[in-house]
Amino acid sequence: MAGSETPLAEEDLAALRLLAASCADEPERIPVRENRAVLNEARPAAGRPPLVDTVTDVLRLACALSGGDVTLATPTRFRSFRRAERRALLRALDAVATPAKLGDVPRHRERWKRLGERLHPHEYPLLPRADPRLIR
């Protein structure tokens, strides 16, 4: 399911979410970003870092962890994240937040602002690129 070439229906995403929670193996290739976000939702509980290669992947993961829309079609109200979740999100963001990968950020500017309010980036000074307030 995760390796599907087309976006999954909502019921299929729910099934993938259940499978991801019980399956330790990860697919070789995950072409659809929404599927990747659903798989990433289960990774912190297993003590694994998220699979991200764009800042939008980090935003999708934050939406998934908040029970929101991973397609980013509708706004998500971000919940208060646990410290381990904030650390995982900020580490992932720090790893991919390079100038070349910030092209989609203006498209989701308000969501980044809301996420920045929930992540407390000031608690992690060793992750300088992870401050969502700096992504403009």
Asked whether residue 99 is assigned to any structural domain, the reply reads yes
Percent of the chain with pLDDT over 90: 24
Residue 81 is predicted with a pLDDT of: 94
Asked whether residue 4 is assigned to any structural domain, the reply reads no
Tokens linked to 102: 């910030």
Asked whether residue 48 is assigned to any structural domain, the reply reads yes
d(CA 55, CA 33): 12
Residue 132 is predicted with a pLDDT of: 62
Q: What is the Cα Rg of the chain in Å?
A: 14
pLDDT of 26-66, one tens digit each? Answer: 666 788 888 888 888 888 777 788 888 889 999 999 999 99
Q: Which domain holds residue 70?
A: 10-134
pLDDT at 16 over 80: yes
Q: How many structural domains compose the chain?
A: 1
Answer yes or no: pTM beyond 0.85. Answer: no
d(CA 3, CA 58): 19
Asked whether residue 3 is assigned to any structural domain, the reply reads no
Q: Phi/psi of residue 47, each to 5°?
A: 75, 25
Asked whether residue 52 is assigned to any structural domain, the reply reads yes
Asked whether residue 2 is assigned to any structural domain, the reply reads no
By CB atoms closer than 10 A (0-12, 13-18, 19+), residue 6 is: exposed
* DSSP state letters, 98-116: -GGG-TTGGGGHHHHHHHH
Asked whether residue 130 is assigned to any structural domain, the reply reads yes
Residue 59 is predicted with a pLDDT of: 94
pLDDT of 76-121, one tens digit each? Answer: 999 999 998 998 899 998 888 877 777 778 888 899 889 988 988 8
Smallest CA-to-CA distance from 129 within 58, 62, 30, 34 is with: 58
- Mean pLDDT, rounded, of the chain: 84
Asked whether residue 91 is assigned to any structural domain, the reply reads yes
